Amino acid sequence: MADQNTAEHAIALMPRGGPDATWLDRLLQTNRLEYTDRDDVSDEIKQRVIAGLDAIGDRTGLHEQHARTALQVVADIANPRILEIGAGHGRLSQQILQLHPSATVTASDLDPTSVAKMAAGPLGSNPRARTQVIDATAIDAADASYDLVVFALAFHHLPPAAACWAIAEATRVASRFLVIDLRRESPLGILLMPIAMLPMSLAVMPPSSIQPTLHDGVISSLRAYSPSALVTLGKAAHPKMTIEFLQPPHIGFGLRPITAVFSGPQHT
């Protein structure tokens, strides 16, 4: 019990750059929350961020690329059952349905407003789609009820202990858990992030989305996990967890996602 408490404590305190992060990397992280995670921020502001992310994904082809990556992970399954958590606008789930003739999706988010908007849009009328409010750290679904759980551009929202729970939960309800997230940059890259994001933000986002999306983007870059942090979280969720890093095609615009697939021991 004491050992378990010590291990949980070590995970909770793990730097975003992983256990071996340099002192400079450790300085460049924050517990500050993004607008989309704050109870004191209006739904209107949160939805401006979601609209900004939707616009970036549309313009850069990220929605489609993420859907192709998800389908690649379940290429061996004829009729894949996919749960998207932290779906926000739901465009990744929509793309999956467009690209695959028989996949079924559950598009979910912690935020009921986002889920209501997804339900009122194309996902709500697609017979192969469901929408649901789901917390990534306590997934309301039976064991092995999906083939894949996918979490795009959202894993960094979870602090380490919660991130570890999310891995355990996703690999309980599905054979595989695909995390696509911001790559943790070098300290210089983190410092230059606002400058790097500005031109694309001005070019592609609705004006009302620019400030809140930049705000959340800067915090995201400080909260992004490194590959060694993802491995440490996966092994803490289960010592026999397999973590594989994929190399999706580089799409430009300075966007460099990190893509990891977690498989629990019962599935390897």
Ligand X SMILES: C[S@@+](CC[C@H](N)C(=O)[O-])C[C@H]1O[C@@H](n2cnc3c(N)ncnc32)[C@H](O)[C@@H]1O
Separation between Cα atoms, residue 151 and residue 163, nearest integer Å: 11
Q: Are 120 and 144 in contact (CB under 8 A)?
A: no
Shortest distance (Å) from residue 24 CB to ligand X: 26
Shortest distance (Å) from residue 4 CB to ligand X: 23
Shortest distance (Å) from residue 138 CB to ligand X: 9
Shortest distance (Å) from residue 20 CB to ligand X: 27
- Which residue number, 70 or 241, has a Cβ lying nearer to ligand X? 70
Overall residue count recorded for the chain in this entry:
268
Q: Which residue is nearest to ligand X (CB)?
A: 88
Separation between Cα atoms, residue 54 and residue 250, nearest integer Å: 19
Exposed, middle or buried: residue 228 (CB in 10 Å: 0-12, 13-18, 19+)?
middle
- The SS3 assignment for 66 reads helix
Nearest C-alpha neighbor of 55 from the set 101, 88, 22: 88
For 149, 160, 211, 240, the CA distances from 237, given in Å and listed in that order, are 16, 11, 36, 9
- Which residue number, 68 or 242, has a Cβ lying nearer to ligand X? 68
Helix runs in 157-206, H state only: 160-173, 187-204
Shortest distance (Å) from residue 187 CB to ligand X: 23
Q: Which residues here bind ligand X, judged by CB under 6 A?
A: 36-37, 53, 57, 85-88, 109-111, 114, 135-137, 152-154, 157-158
- Which residue number, 20 or 44, has a Cβ lying nearer to ligand X? 44
- Which residue number, 87 or 97, has a Cβ lying nearer to ligand X? 87
Separation between Cα atoms, residue 108 and residue 88, nearest integer Å: 8
Shortest distance (Å) from residue 26 CB to ligand X: 23
Q: Are 156 and 180 in contact (CB under 8 A)?
A: no
- Which residue number, 26 or 38, has a Cβ lying nearer to ligand X? 38
Shortest distance (Å) from residue 79 CB to ligand X: 23
- Which residue number, 18 or 86, has a Cβ lying nearer to ligand X? 86
For the residues of 89-119, what is the DSSP string, one character each?
T-HHHHHHHHH-SS-EEEEEES-HHHHHHHH
- Which residue number, 3 or 39, has a Cβ lying nearer to ligand X? 39
